[in-house]
Structures are given as C-alpha cells and as structure tokens.
Chains A and B, each alone.
Chain A
Amino acid sequence: MESRIIEVEGPRGIVSSIRVYQGGSGPDLLFQHGAGGLLPDDPFLARLSEHFTVHAPLLPGFEDSEGGEHLRTMLDFTLHAFDVWETLGLTRPLLAGHSMGGMLAAEMAAVAPHSVDALALLCPAGLWRDEAPVTDLFAALPFELPGLLLHDPAKHGVLLSAGGDFNDPEFLTEFLVGNARRLGTAGKLLFPIPDRGLGDRLYRIRARTAVIWGASDRMIDPSYADDFAGAIPDAQAIVVGEAGHMVPYEQPERVVEVLLGLRS
C-alpha cells in the first residue's frame, strides 16, 4: 500500500496536510479509521486492496497528518471528510468505517444521503444506551487495551503494539505521546460520551448498509448492532464470532466477504 500527503483546503485559507494510504484495484472504497488509527502495514487494508481500490485518509493527529485546529464538532469532521473525498477525486466509493470512523461514515451518509450508495459500519461508535455504556477509552491504561479491543489478546495482541510492550517504560512513553495526539483528535468526537446526536439522523441514510460487529466486543457492546440496523432504512446487522472490537483484524475474511456483497 502506497501513501502520500494531500493538501486539503479548509475555511479562511486553512490547509491541512492529510496522509492517505492508497492501493489495490477494483471499485473505490473510502475507509475511515478508528480512534487508534491504522496499524503499521495495515493488514486489513491489505486484504481489502485485493478486491477494491482502497483510499484511507488519516485525520489530523494521526501519524503525520496535521492541521486540525479548525475541526471541533461532528459537522466540522463530516465536512472535512467530504473535502478529502473531493480532493481525492472520488465519485461514489463504497464508504466504510471502523469504530470512530464508522461514526463518521454514518454521519456522512446521513448528511449527504444522495452521495453514498453503499455503507459498511464496523463496530461504529455514535450511539449510547445507559444499559450498555461504551467503555471509557480515555481513562483506559495502555496495558488494558488488548483485553478491551481483542477477542483473543494472546493471538492478536501484537497487532496493537507493533511488537512493543506496554509495560516497558520506554515504549510506553513513545506510545503515550502518539496516543495523546490521536486521542486528542478523537476526543472531539468521542469525549466524554461518544454521542453527537447521530441517532437522530440515521433515518436519512439511503445507502445499502452492513453493520458488522465482533461478538465479544468489550469496547462497544454488540447489542448496538441492532440499534444501528433498526434505525437505518436499508441495513443488515452481522455479528461475527471469535472477534472483538478489532473485528476487521481478527476476522478479515468474513468482513471482506460482507463488503463484497455490498457492491452494486
């Protein structure tokens, strides 16, 4: 997967530099990442690129993407995502998003229902029920993350830390600095409660939608799959076994199969 920096114009002459990973062949797919960002040599994007031309922009604060000072609200982020879309020259990509990125993708499809035909939401954030509180990612300690995000931390834990050890102070320092940048941006959408009113707008979505959830997601309870699928007019909920919040990484084949089914 190749990557490059694109310049995206914002209000009053503000320009943000956005790193975009691109690769593969086939229909366009625009992927919105979660609060953790992409993984090194992202294995899920690699699988997607076997079937799609993948475009995965990184929000400011993630890797070397910069210039998000003007992004404060859900609407700011949604319009910024369309600005990126236009800068990339996309027309009608399959829109997919994971976790926070799923929240963003759903918001985009609700704000511009005539622009999005196909939508894949992978354990999206954005709704809240008191009976199933979303885990407070912002107060979680790094060493707790594998247990919260993965069905099988022993098998896939290395994915999250790229081989580092969250109990090693040196690695931890580096991780925390990067994490502060990433979650600083993510907090604008997710803190303190990841609900910016999306539930009131889901009815507007016209896209064929797949809502995919890991059955053992400990970050956002899988029961939210039905809430999303129930509120979006043309949506189907798919709960995938032996997967947690990182379902695209723990069960990539199953997820890719669902996405292939969304093609027109």
Chain B
Amino acid sequence: MKFTWFNLMPWPYLPDDFREKYRSVWVDIPSSLYDPVKGHEVYNTYLDELEYAESLGYDGIGVNEHHANGYGLMPSPNIMAATLARRTSKSALVVLGNSIALYNPPIRVAEEFAMLDVISGGRLLAGFPVGTSMDTNYCYGQIPALTREKYKEAHDLIIKCWEADEPFAWNGRYTQLRYANCWPKPIQKNPPIFIPGGGSLETYDFCLDYDYVYCYLSFSGYKRAKQLMDGYWQRVEERGKDLSPYRAGFAQTIVVAESDAEAERDYRQHIDYFYNRCLHVYPGFADAPGYRTIKTLKANVTTQMTRQALGDVSKMSWDQLVGDGYVIAGSPDTVVSRMQDLITSLRVGNIFCLLHVGDMSKDKCMRSTRLFAEEVMPKLRDMWPEYADDDRFWIHPIDQAPRAAAAAVGA
C-alpha cells in the first residue's frame, strides 16, 4: 500500500454564519474574508504538517490546485511542492495536480514539473486533472464544451515535451509553438501520472490507454464510492488489463485518537467545520452546462437546484458522517478495520489520507497523523502481497548518495 498525506489547506477562519451569509465557498467568496497576516501562519503551519508527515514515513505528501476557494488555498500547487522539494528527501511529491487546460501554453506544466522532479531527485508524482467546473470554467474562464478537447491536446503536448530529445513544432488547435523545447527534462523519463476522475467511461479509458492511475477524490467516503470503483474495475477487465490495485487511488477523510470516544470529542467540531461550512458550494457553479458529457449528466443530475434546496442549511451530524463512511474516525483498531474495508472493497493500492480536516489545530493534526502512521499504516502495508513488486505506478528517484541535500538553516 502507498499512503499519501494530504492537506487541502482550508481557510480556518470562515465565520459561523458563513452559509447563511454567503452563497458559495468557491468562485465568488469575497476575498475580504481572507486575512493575509493570519494566512502567513496558516500556510507555514500547513507546510510544517506536510514535512512532519514525511518524517513519519508516509510514502507521499500531497498538494492540489484550486482557485478562489475557501477550503483550498493552493492556486499554485507547484509553489507548495517546490518548498517541500527542498525540505524533504524521501516522500513522493504528489502534485494532484495541474489542471493542464488552464496553463497557457501548457508546456509550462512540462517545464515546472520537470523542475520539481529534478530538484527533488526524481520524486515527482504528476496529476493531470481536467478540473472542476468551479475552477476551470467559472474561475479560469474556459469554455465548458471545449475544455476536454483542450485538456487532451495539452496532455499530448506535455508528454511529447518530456519524451522528445530535439525541439519540435507543435501545431495544435489551442497551442501553436514553432519551437517546443522543454528545458529542463525530468529525471524520471515518464513520471507516474495520476488522473482524478468522477465516473465517466472516457476517463477510465484514458487511464487505461496510457497506464495512468485512476483516482477518485471525493469527500463522501468509501461506502458511496463502491459503485463508481466497481465500474472502473469492470472496465479494466474488459480492456484486458491486469488488476493491480496500484492502478487506482482513493481520497478518504480520516481522524485517529486513542479511543473512539476521544476521536468524537476532539475532532467532531473540525469535521463539522469542513463538511457543514467548507463544502458550501453554490449549485449554479457546480456543473457548467456542456462541461460534463450528457451520458454522465443523466446519471448524476443534481436536484439541489430548486428554490427549496437552496434555502436548506441543515447540517450533517457526526453519527451520519461516520456511519455513512464520509469520515473514518476512532481508535487505531477501529480505523484499521474501516481502512481494510475501504482497501478491499474499492481494490485500491493508493490512499490519499485527508488527515488535516477543516480548522483543526496543528497539535491535533499531528497527533492524528502520528497515530495513523504508527498504529494503522503498519497493519495495512501488506494488504496486496501478490502485487508487492509492482512499482510501475510509483516514483523512481535517484539513489540517496548523489542527491543534494538542503543545507540546514543558517549554514
């Protein structure tokens, strides 16, 4: 099993009446709610937590990309990964990822990812999300019905940039470069690539065409993910591919304490902050018309768009969130058992552990992170013994010896 420690980097100071007063945590949330001086503390605390996770033996540390988002403060994940590249030496830098349809020209992603891979000694794990409607269409202005075509072209350009040994001309529909020439090139000739997906057949096939890892990044937990992941594995079989669990990843909110009761006592308010405040997204931004295929849409049409649903500010309770698997919470034994359910039922080799939740303090976050690393991870490590040697989907860094180390501060 591969465990990546993930911090969405939420703004921890959203007001108590946020849902009543503002229509969305994303896209049009006023930036007057952000205080840059407090932000200084927040960013550095979150980076400390990521570095701490490496010291405990997490296989990866993860960052992602959102825009104008009150629960995701990383418009540029590459800046965060760059700070981590110098301060860590073992964990994969899981950048999940760069929304490649948004970079103009997209060779910028090939270059920055190559820089990260070179600085870190070959530890980059690259994510290429199509992106949400909120980020891609409403914040970054991409035309919904053309986003996928633009994404595919950007992907093809980036891969060719990494593979080509000579400059080449790129006559694309969305990008034209007379001299496409990626300096530097990555250490890993083909860095592992993870693709976040939401259940469309097109994305299953895209991953299988290139042997990319299919990742389901949801906040609704493993029980609700079963049907979607079953669909993926069915497609893997239909395509005649091997069933390595390392072809798949899943994000799960997790909190660990000494006992189940202590978990509820210490973490409940932070879970509440995340699920009942941070996830307040205006439904008009959730799905720009034309962004999703009609087939996908028919299966997932939201009925949150009625006047009545819009006024509903009812909250999800701790019991509901834990009972329905949105959150895995409790003592190490409880968490081990739930995680085993998750790993076997979804058949996943990669877990993105959302171990920082909402407005959780650094102390609580570190305790939960440590308990998971020390008491839970060892019991889950070898859940796929028959695939123990399958390293196709993970990083391949250079040897420790020749790697440059960051000098100690003041040295």
A187 touches B303 (CB 8 A): no
Of A72, A166, A180, which one neighbours B292 at CB under 8 angstroms?
A180
A138 touches B306 (CB 8 A): no
Closest B residue, CB atoms, query A173:
B301
Mark contacts of A68-90 with chain B using CB atoms, 8 A cut-off: 1 yes-contact digit, 0 otherwise: 00001000000000000000000
A-B contact count (CB 8 A): 82
Determine, out of A4-12, A140-148, A199-207, A210-218, the stretch whose residues face the partner at the interface: A140-148
* B144 partner residues in chain A, CB cutoff 8 A: 138, 184, 187, 191
Asked if B371 is an interface residue, CB under 8 A from chain A, the answer is: no
Closest A residue, CB atoms, query B285:
A139
Which residues between 297 and 350 of chain B lie within 8 Å of chain A, taking CB atoms? 297-298, 301-303, 305-308, 310
Chain B proximity of A153: nearest CB distance (Å): 13
* A139 partner residues in chain B, CB cutoff 8 A: 138, 282, 284-285, 288
**Separation of A141 and B284 alpha carbons in the complex (Å):** 6
B306 touches A143 (CB 8 A): yes
Closest B residue, CB atoms, query A166:
B306
**Separation of A193 and B143 alpha carbons in the complex (Å):** 10
Asked if B198 is an interface residue, CB under 8 A from chain A, the answer is: no
Of A172, A180, A193, which one neighbours B289 at CB under 8 angstroms?
A180
User: Are A185 and B138 also in contact (CB < 8 A) when A139-B282, A167-B306, A180-B294 are?
Assistant: no
Which residues between 142 and 160 of chain B lie within 8 Å of chain A, taking CB atoms? 143-146
Chain A proximity of B310: nearest CB distance (Å): 7
B306 touches A177 (CB 8 A): no
B137 touches A191 (CB 8 A): yes
Interface centre among A140, A172, A184, by most chain B C-beta atoms within 10 angstroms, is A184
User: Are A169 and B138 also in contact (CB < 8 A) when A139-B285, A141-B283, A184-B290 are?
Assistant: no
Mark contacts of B73-114 with chain A using CB atoms, 8 A cut-off: 1 yes-contact digit, 0 otherwise: 000000000000000000000000000000000000000000
Asked if A151 is an interface residue, CB under 8 A from chain B, the answer is: no
Of A72, A142, A182, A191, which one neighbours B288 at CB under 8 angstroms?
A191
Query: Chain A at the B interface: mostly helix, strand, loop or mixed?
Result: helix
**Separation of A185 and B146 alpha carbons in the complex (Å):** 10
**Separation of A192 and B282 alpha carbons in the complex (Å):** 17
* A142 partner residues in chain B, CB cutoff 8 A: 305
Asked if A179 is an interface residue, CB under 8 A from chain B, the answer is: yes
B137 touches A167 (CB 8 A): no
B143 touches A167 (CB 8 A): no
B290 touches A143 (CB 8 A): no
**Separation of A179 and B308 alpha carbons in the complex (Å):** 20
B294 touches A181 (CB 8 A): yes
Count of chain A residues near B, Cβ 8 A: 28
Closest A residue, CB atoms, query B24:
A139
Asked if A183 is an interface residue, CB under 8 A from chain B, the answer is: yes
Closest A residue, CB atoms, query B140:
A192
A177 touches B297 (CB 8 A): yes
Asked if B378 is an interface residue, CB under 8 A from chain A, the answer is: no
Which residues between 10 and 67 of chain B lie within 8 Å of chain A, taking CB atoms? none
B283 touches A173 (CB 8 A): no
Of B297, B303, B305, which one neighbours A180 at CB under 8 angstroms?
B297
Asked if A51 is an interface residue, CB under 8 A from chain B, the answer is: no
User: Are A169 and B288 also in contact (CB < 8 A) when A139-B282, A177-B294, A185-B145 are?
Assistant: no
* A167 partner residues in chain B, CB cutoff 8 A: 306-308
Interface centre among B173, B288, B305, B306, by most chain A C-beta atoms within 10 angstroms, is B305
* B307 partner residues in chain A, CB cutoff 8 A: 143, 167
* B290 partner residues in chain A, CB cutoff 8 A: 180-181, 183-185, 187
* A184 partner residues in chain B, CB cutoff 8 A: 144-145, 289-291
Asked if A176 is an interface residue, CB under 8 A from chain B, the answer is: yes
**Separation of A140 and B289 alpha carbons in the complex (Å):** 11
A188 touches B306 (CB 8 A): no
Asked if B141 is an interface residue, CB under 8 A from chain A, the answer is: yes
* B292 partner residues in chain A, CB cutoff 8 A: 180
B305 touches A188 (CB 8 A): no
* B297 partner residues in chain A, CB cutoff 8 A: 176-177, 180
**Separation of A176 and B297 alpha carbons in the complex (Å):** 9
**Separation of A183 and B283 alpha carbons in the complex (Å):** 16
Chain A proximity of B176: nearest CB distance (Å): 15
**Separation of A180 and B291 alpha carbons in the complex (Å):** 8
Closest B residue, CB atoms, query A182:
B289
Chain A proximity of B345: nearest CB distance (Å): 29
B305 touches A187 (CB 8 A): no
Interface centre among A166, A168, A183, by most chain B C-beta atoms within 10 angstroms, is A183
Of B173, B287, B303, which one neighbours A172 at CB under 8 angstroms?
B303
**Separation of A168 and B303 alpha carbons in the complex (Å):** 9
Q: 12 new A-B pairs (CB below 8 Å) besides A142-B305, A143-B307?
A: A138-B137, A138-B144, A141-B305, A141-B310, A143-B305, A169-B306, A176-B301, A177-B301, A180-B289, A180-B294, A184-B290, A187-B289
Binding site for B on A (CB under 8 A): 72, 138-143, 166-169, 172-173, 176-177, 179-188, 191-193
Q: Please provide the 3 A-B residue pairs with the shortest distance between their CB atoms, ordered closest to farther.
A: A184-B290, A183-B289, A139-B284
Binding site for A on B (CB under 8 A): 137-138, 141, 143-146, 173, 282-285, 287-292, 294, 297-298, 301-303, 305-308, 310
Q: List 7 A-B contacts (CB under 8 A).
A: A138-B137, A142-B305, A172-B306, A173-B303, A180-B292, A183-B289, A191-B288
